[in-house]
């Protein structure tokens, strides 16, 4: 680069202070590396170069010295110290260092490795002096934990900048000083610390999901890794297939979820999908699945259907077709539904339900000893049958003066369920009408948009029935399945939605299920109303995908996920399709990959 050209592109005005300088509106401080960590992994500098508030400058020149000479000298000094010390812990630590140094020296000699003088400068940038101090303190702490030794070089900040950038023809350092700025290192070690990610994610049974943003490494992801490669899943702490996606409107959240679900569809994994905006309709119908317009006439789930028993992973095993347990589960679900539909229902009324339902099943020839595995929807009683059973109980006790309290409760119960048998009968009274195919693409979707216009009580009761039904289908260990809950912020704080979803998240690993939830409101999962269930969802989600969020939402997210300051800054600056991908212990910044063809297939109207 010519001197004339350099003079034209170098910054014209720089204000230099004792331990920082200003270029335009930015405050900048440089830290010179005076010693490198004794041990480091591949791509060590990649963490620092990915931080938008840190610049890493590196400059090398070849040295004539053989680095093995000073290393051998250091080895002998440590060896003498090891022989003299009586401190057992120090002796063990020195012994490990000697073994490592010996292997390193032999490797250098065998490869005839060249020696470089390496100058590294970490440059911190901020908009205010206060932010500069905070970011400098964070950087110093992180560098020292990693094993770096650094110096700010007072009154030489600008000279450090000039030394490591090609924009200046000269610096304020002498030639001797410039040589002494660096640290000797082999070319192999220098290549090892270079900010390049050598491995991103390549799961054998995965699909092309994204590219790693910094170096464009491919992300081939298998959410079900714990089923397909148990050893790798343990090593990488990827022990479930559960996913949570965060992102504001326009961040690419829906496309990201659709890519995951499209892979499930392609692999013929049973997919049960609920969405409050009916966004699941197009893909479901495109691939021959069953779409339920939940809340419309003709779409019904009978709460008296017996469902297989599911349990948490740490509970004692039970027979999934234990009829007694299944009946008592129905009793609990019926009581929960009534509490949502009629919040003011009293305990006396609820207390009589158990006996009525047991007697109702007996009337339909279903006892605790019955095998219900082969039963069909039409074999079960309906709400009309339950009302008829209430009348039978009334007739049984009508002449019993001691049973007045019970008769009053029966009267109240029949009064409470009367709207469910009249104006709301096509929601609650009748056999289950949902039939979905277990061949082909295996998709069952619920669109709940119509419920938005209904009363909160009716909506909560209907959603509870739907979530209970989804849980009954999804938690079947004989098949791989996925359960997806779109735009969860629309219903997480209502009714028992959070509790039902949390149950699926807790049990999904045991039952070969992948639970997926997306929301633009992280604070909903930390809300006092559902904090326990929000924690269960987050703690059982191996994968978190964080797309662009507003600053306030990022603060709420920080209560749920451990994020460093760099990650918080990056999330706010993400573009559409960018994300922080947390996979077990690994944090990656990615760009989700969707071709034009995939976008059109997922929703030609939205992506047209």
How far is CA 333 from each of CA 23, 257, 389, 432, 446, rounded to the nearest angstrom?
66, 30, 18, 16, 20
- Within a domain: residue 35? yes
Last residue of a domain, one of 408, 431, 454: 431
Give the pLDDT confidence of 222-280 residue by residue, as tens digits.
999 999 999 999 999 999 999 999 999 999 999 999 999 999 999 999 999 999 999 99
Give the pLDDT confidence of 74-100 residue by residue, as tens digits.
778 878 888 888 888 888 878 877 776
Please state the rounded mean pLDDT for residues 516-538. Answer: 93
Please state the rounded mean pLDDT for residues 418-442. Answer: 90
Contact (CB, 8 A) for 267 and 222: no
Using the predicted structure, report yes or no on whether residue 495 has a pLDDT greater than 60: yes
Instruction: Return the SS3 of 298.
Output: coil
CATH of the domain at 372: 1.10.8.730
Last residue of a domain, one of 172, 193, 214: 193
The pLDDT assigned to 38 comes to 75
Please indicate whether residue 182 or residue 2 has the higher confidence score (pLDDT): 182
CA distance 456 to 459: 5
Domain count of the fold of the chain: 3
Q: Are residues 19 and 141 in the same domain?
A: yes
Give the pLDDT confidence of 468-477 residue by residue, as tens digits.
999 999 998 8
Return the exposure string of 345-384: e unless at least 16 CB atoms fall within 10 Å of the residue's CB, then b. beeebbebbeebbbebbeeeebeeebebeebebeebbbbe
Give the pLDDT confidence of 147-171 residue by residue, as tens digits.
899 988 888 888 888 887 777 777 7
- Within a domain: residue 257? no
Q: Are residues 150 and 44 in the same domain?
A: yes
Q: Are residues 73 and 128 in the same domain?
A: no
| Residue 46 parent element (H or E) | helix 46-49
Instruction: Return the SS3 of 54.
Output: strand
Q: Are residues 73 and 189 in the same domain?
A: no
- Within a domain: residue 276? no
The pLDDT assigned to 607 comes to 45
Bridge partner residues of 513 (DSSP): 481
Q: Are residues 118 and 108 in the same domain?
A: no
Categorize the per-residue pLDDT at 4 as very low, low, confident or very high, splitting at 50, 70 and 90: very low
The pLDDT assigned to 224 comes to 97
- Within a domain: residue 155? yes
Q: Which of 34-38, 261-265, 486-490 is predicted with the least confidence, judged by mean pLDDT?
A: 34-38
Q: Are residues 48 and 172 in the same domain?
A: yes
Supply the range of the domain harboring residue 316. 303-431
Give the pLDDT confidence of 111-158 residue by residue, as tens digits.
666 778 888 999 999 999 999 999 999 999 989 888 899 988 888 888
Please state the rounded mean pLDDT for residues 319-332. Answer: 96
- Cβ contacts of 456 within 8 Å, gap of 6 or more: 494
Using the predicted structure, report yes or no on whether residue 3 has a pLDDT greater than 80: no
Q: Are residues 45 and 90 in the same domain?
A: no
Using the predicted structure, report yes or no on whether residue 286 has a pLDDT greater than 80: yes
Please state the rounded mean pLDDT for residues 438-464. Answer: 92
- Within a domain: residue 337? yes
- Within a domain: residue 291? no
- Cβ contacts of 88 within 8 Å, gap of 6 or more: none
The pLDDT assigned to 71 comes to 64
Using the predicted structure, report yes or no on whether residue 374 has a pLDDT greater than 60: yes
The pLDDT assigned to 70 comes to 66
Q: Are residues 14 and 101 in the same domain?
A: no
Closest CA to 443 of 483, 497, 500: 483
Q: Are residues 390 and 355 in the same domain?
A: yes
- Within a domain: residue 39? yes
Task: Tell me the helices (H) and strands (E) count for the chain, helix number first.
Answer: 24, 19
Contact (CB, 8 A) for 46 and 212: no
The pLDDT assigned to 107 comes to 63
Using the predicted structure, report yes or no on whether residue 198 has a pLDDT greater than 70: no
The pLDDT assigned to 265 comes to 93
Instruction: Return the SS3 of 84.
Output: helix
Q: Are residues 139 and 37 in the same domain?
A: yes
Q: Are residues 117 and 103 in the same domain?
A: no
Categorize the per-residue pLDDT at 7 as very low, low, confident or very high, splitting at 50, 70 and 90: very low
The pLDDT assigned to 348 comes to 93
Using the predicted structure, report yes or no on whether residue 449 has a pLDDT greater than 90: yes
Q: Are residues 170 and 317 in the same domain?
A: no
Last residue of a domain, one of 431, 447, 465: 431
- Within a domain: residue 258? no
């Amino acid at each position: 680069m010519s001197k004339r050209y350099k003079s034209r592109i170098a910054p014209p005005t720089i204000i230099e202070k004792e331990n920082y300088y200003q270029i335009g509106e930015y405050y900048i401080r440089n830290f010179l590396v005076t010693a490198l960590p004794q041990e480091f992994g591949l791509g060590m500098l990649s963490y620092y170069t990915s931080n938008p508030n840190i610049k890493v400058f590196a400059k090398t020149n070849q040295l004539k010295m053989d680095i093995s000479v000073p290393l051998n000298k250091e080895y002998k000094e440590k060896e003498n110290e090891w022989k003299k010390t009586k401190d057992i812990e120090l002796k063990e630590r020195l012994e490990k260092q000697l073994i490592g140094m010996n292997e390193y020296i032999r490797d250098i000699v065998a490869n005839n490795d060249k020696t470089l003088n390496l100058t590294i400068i970490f440059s911190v940038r901020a908009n205010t002096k206060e932010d500069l101090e905070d970011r400098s303190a964070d950087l110093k702490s992180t560098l020292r934990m990693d094993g770096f030794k650094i110096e700010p070089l007072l009154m030489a900040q600008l000279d450090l900048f000039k030394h490591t950038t090609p924009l200046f023809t000269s610096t304020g350092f002498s030639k001797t000083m410039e040589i002494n700025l660096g640290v000797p290192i082999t070319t192999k070690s220098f290549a090892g610390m270079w900010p390049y990610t050598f491995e991103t994610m390549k799961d054998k049974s995965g699909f092309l999901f994204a590219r790693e943003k910094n170096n464009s490494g491919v992300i081939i992801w298998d959410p079900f890794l714990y089923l397909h490669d148990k050893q790798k899943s343990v090593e990488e702490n990827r022990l479930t297939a559960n996913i949570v996606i965060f992102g504001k409107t326009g961040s690419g959240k829906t496309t990201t979820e659709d890519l995951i679900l499209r892979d499930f569809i392609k692999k013929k994994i049973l997919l049960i999908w609920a969405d409050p905006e009916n966004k699941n309709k197009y893909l479901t119908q495109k691939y021959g699945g069953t779409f339920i317009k939940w809340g419309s006439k003709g779409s019904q789930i009978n709460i008296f259907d017996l469902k297989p028993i599911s349990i948490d992973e740490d509970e004692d095993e039970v027979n999934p077709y234990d009829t007694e347990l299944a009946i008592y589960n129905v009793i609990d679900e019926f009581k929960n539904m009534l509490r949502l539909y009629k919040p003011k229902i009293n305990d006396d009324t609820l207390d009589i339900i158990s006996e009525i339902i047991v007697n109702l099943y007996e009337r339909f020839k279903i006892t605790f000893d019955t095998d219900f595995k082969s039963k069909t929807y039409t074999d079960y009683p309906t709400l009309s049958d339950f009302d008829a059973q209430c009348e039978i109980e009334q007739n049984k006790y009508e002449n019993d003066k001691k049973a007045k309290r019970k008769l009053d409760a029966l009267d109240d119960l029949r009064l409470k369920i009367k709207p469910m048998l009249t104006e709301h009968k096509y929601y609650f009274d009748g056999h289950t009408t949902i039939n979905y195919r277990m061949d082909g693409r295996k998709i069952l979707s619920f669109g709940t948009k119509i419920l938005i216009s209904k009363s909160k009580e009716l909506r909560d009761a209907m959603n509870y029935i739907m979530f209970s039904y989804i849980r009954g289908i999804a938690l079947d260990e004989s098949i791989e399945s996925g359960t997806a809950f779109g735009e969860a912020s629309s219903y997480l704080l209502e009714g028992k939605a959070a509790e039902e979803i949390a149950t699926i998240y807790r049990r999904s690993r045991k039952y070969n299920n992948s639970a997926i939830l997306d929301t633009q409101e992280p604070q909903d999962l930390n809300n006092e109303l559902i904090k326990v269930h929000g924690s269960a969802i987050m703690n059982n989600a191996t994968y978190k995908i964080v797309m662009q969020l507003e600053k306030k939402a990022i603060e709420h997210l920080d209560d749920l996920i451990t994020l460093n300051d760099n990650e918080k800054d990056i999330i706010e600056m993400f573009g559409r399709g960018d994300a922080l991908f947390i996979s077990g212990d690994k944090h990656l910044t990615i760009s989700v990959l969707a071709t034009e063809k995939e976008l059109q297939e997922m929703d030609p109207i939205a992506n047209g």
